[in-house]
Every structure is written in structure tokens, then in C-alpha cells.
Amino acid sequence: MKKTATRLADGRELIYYDARDDAVRDAVDQRPLDPISTRSEIRHDRLLGDDVAVASHRQGRTYHPPADECPLCPSRDGRLSEIPASDYDVVVFENRFPSLAGDAGRCEVVCFTSDHDASFADLTAEQAALVLDAWTDRTAELAQLPSVEQVFCFENRGREIGVTLGHPHGQIYGYPFPTPRTRLMLRSLAEHRERTGRNLFDDVVADERSDGSRIVLDGEHWTAFVPYAAHWPYEVHLYPKRRVPDLTALDDAARTEFPQMYLELLKRFDRTFGEGEPPTPYIAAWHQAPFGKGGEVSRADREEFALHLELFTIRRTSGKLKFLAGSESGMNVFINDVPPEAAAERLREVASK
């Protein structure tokens, strides 16, 4: 992998990740952009104990532009975009409309391919491996920022999810605090450790593999399963078999196997609802350990956390979505219409031939 860093016309950082070592990235952003002005702040909810990012400047962000005006396509034929080069492999750049900025964290955009009409599932194993390299590099780089406590790499796909740009891309958030979801995991982790002396993540994966009814894929270095208490109609968790706290700690064997495993899962998601159905909307979310800079997360908590990816869709059956209504949105109690065992069986049925 070759990494080339540059700056956009308004000063934001942009980084090319190329598979070829001889790639030359010297294109200059020619757009007459004004300096970025963000109004992002973090407000604490005293009742729930969590934090909310208020970012009013995001109201003006780009919203479903036509394909020939896509800001994530390369700059070609006189049309200037966020990427100055006429082609690229993988690109990461600072979000022009960040939810988190400055002392409140950092937001980046990850473009998986220059092909506007592709999806992550269309990538080759080599292309997917380069995206993994980019995620890993950004995790390591953002860890050095004083304002970043936890790095979250994720992809939203589909209008139903709320995506406003059709180009295949994801995002990276550098939060200035451990997220509420991570705090819950760390609490359960500590309680399980005190009660049993064992690691909760290890026991969850071992129990799923022992039961077997919810296993979707079981490779040499990764295991994918529908969790026993899945919140979403079709939800898969992907764990490396050697527990590590974040992407930077994956060994070469796990990194090599990941693209095949992940691409197969994405292809199965697109086949789940049958022929003729539109692409399955999904969220793919990497859960990584916080860095413990603020003292809230101990070194033991970080070392015992398990990196994993959660992949889920809000589609519950053909033509129907799972909406977060009264119980879910009002009280955070999920009601799942699809038994996890049935979801796992369906995801095994649609395996690649």
C-alpha cells in the first residue's frame, strides 16, 4: 500500500491509498472554496448520562445529487469534485460537513472505489483488503489526536438507511468519549469477569460456535453468526478468532482472510430477500476499544475488549422495513420479528455457489 497525503482547497486533509507503489498523486484541488466553518458542540444529557453532538452547519450538506454531480467521483472532464485526481483506489478525506470537529472529535469520509455504480460487495478481495488497510491506518492516526478517545469505522448503504450520496463510501468518526454502546459492553464485560473470571466476548463466541444454529460462516481466522438476542431482522456479528482490541492489532492471517469472509456476507445480504429485490440497505459497524486517554476506560478493559464488526439491515421482509417505533425509540427495547435462528438459516441458504 502507498499512502499519499495532500490538502484540499479549503485546508482539509485528503489521503490517497494506492495498491501500487508507483502511483503518483500530484493533482491539486482547483475549486475556489472558502475556509470551513463548523459549529459542532457536545452537550451532556444529565438524565441518560450520554452525550449529543449538535452540528447545525450540517443542514446545508449535499443531498442526493445526480450522478454527474457526485462529489465523491474523481475530478474529470472539467467537473471538479472532492477528489482532485482523475482516478483513485481508496481515498479518505475530512468531511466538509462534520458532526464532530476540533476539540469535539473528527469525521472523515472513506471512498471505497472510484466506480460510482459499484457497491462494497462488488469489490475484489484485493480492493477490500486495501479498504481494510485504510481503516487500520486511520485508526492508528486518529489515536494520536488528543481529542479522539474512540475510532468508529462504518458504512451506511441505501436511501432507507438515510444515505444522501449514492457513491460507495463509508465514514470514520473519532469520538472524544467512549460511546454509550461501548460503555454498556464494558460494563457487561466487567460484571462477567468479576462473576466468572472469564472474558465475556470469548464466552459469547464460544457459546455460538458450540450451539451452531446461528453460525453463518466459520473460517480459519474469523467467525460470523447471528447473535442469540439479535436486535435487527437480519444481523450478523463477525469476530476474529484471536481476540484483539482494534484493527491495528489484527495479525497477517486474519487480515488476509477478512476480505473473502466480509464480501461473502455482503453478497448474502443482497440475496436474502430473493431475486428482483433492490439491494439490501445495511449498516456495517466496526466496534473497537477506546484508548483510555481520559481514565474512564482502564488498560484491562481495553485489553479485554474484542474487535468485531456488526452488519445489519432494517429490511425485515420483501418490501417491508423495520421501523424504530414506540418501544425501540421511546424505551430502547427492541422487538425483533425474525427469530435469529431463522435469519441464520436463510443466510446459509443464500451462500455463493
**Residue 125 sits in the same domain as residue 44:** yes
Quote the domain boundaries for residue 247: 180-349
Q: What percent of the chain has pLDDT over 70?
A: 99
* Single residue among 175, 201, 223 that ends a domain in this structure: 175
326-349 pLDDT, tens digit per residue, is 999 999 999 999 999 999 999 999
Q: Does residue 108 contact residue 172 with C-beta atoms inside 8 Å? A: yes
pLDDT-based confidence at residue 194 (cuts at 50, 70, 90): very high
242-253 pLDDT, tens digit per residue, is 999 999 999 999
CA nearest 106: which of 161, 156, 171? 171
Sign of CA dihedral 308, 111, 131, 316: positive
Is 90 exceeded by the pLDDT of residue 36?
no
Which H or E run includes 255? helix 252-271
Which parts are annotated binding residues for Zn(2+)?
70, 73, 116, 167
**Residue 188 sits in the same domain as residue 277:** yes
Rounded to 5 degrees, φ, ψ at 20 are: -95, 135
Q: How many other CB atoms sit within 10 Å of the CB of residue 64?
A: 9
**Residue 205 sits in the same domain as residue 150:** no
**Residue 213 sits in the same domain as residue 64:** no
**Residue 149 sits in the same domain as residue 220:** no
* Single residue among 124, 145, 175 that ends a domain in this structure: 175
User: What is the CATH number for 127?
Assistant: 3.30.428.10
141 Rama class: left (phi>0) / alpha (psi -120 to 50) / beta: alpha
**Residue 119 sits in the same domain as residue 253:** no
**Residue 9 sits in the same domain as residue 100:** yes
**Residue 293 sits in the same domain as residue 262:** yes
**Residue 191 sits in the same domain as residue 48:** no
Mind telling me the catalytic residues? 169
Which parts are annotated binding residues?
70, 73, 116, 167
Q: Does residue 92 contact residue 109 with C-beta atoms inside 8 Å? A: yes
CA distance 254 to 196: 29
CA nearest 246: which of 203, 295, 182? 182
Q: How many other CB atoms sit within 10 Å of the CB of residue 258?
A: 23
* Single residue among 111, 141, 175 that ends a domain in this structure: 175
**Residue 169 sits in the same domain as residue 214:** no
Q: Would you state the pLDDT for residue 58?
A: 77
Lowest mean pLDDT among 46-50, 55-59, 100-104, 115-119: 55-59
Q: How many domains does the chain have?
A: 2
Q: Which cell goes with 64?
A: 442526493
Average pLDDT in the 293-307 region? Answer: 93
**Residue 218 sits in the same domain as residue 129:** no
**Residue 200 sits in the same domain as residue 332:** yes
CA distance 8 to 13: 6
Cα 245 to Cα 112, 114, 287, 303, 312: the distances in Å are 24, 31, 9, 6, 22
CA distance 227 to 205: 9
Rounded to 5 degrees, φ, ψ at 289 are: -70, 140
pTM of the entire predicted model: 0.96
Rounded to 5 degrees, φ, ψ at 9 are: -60, -25
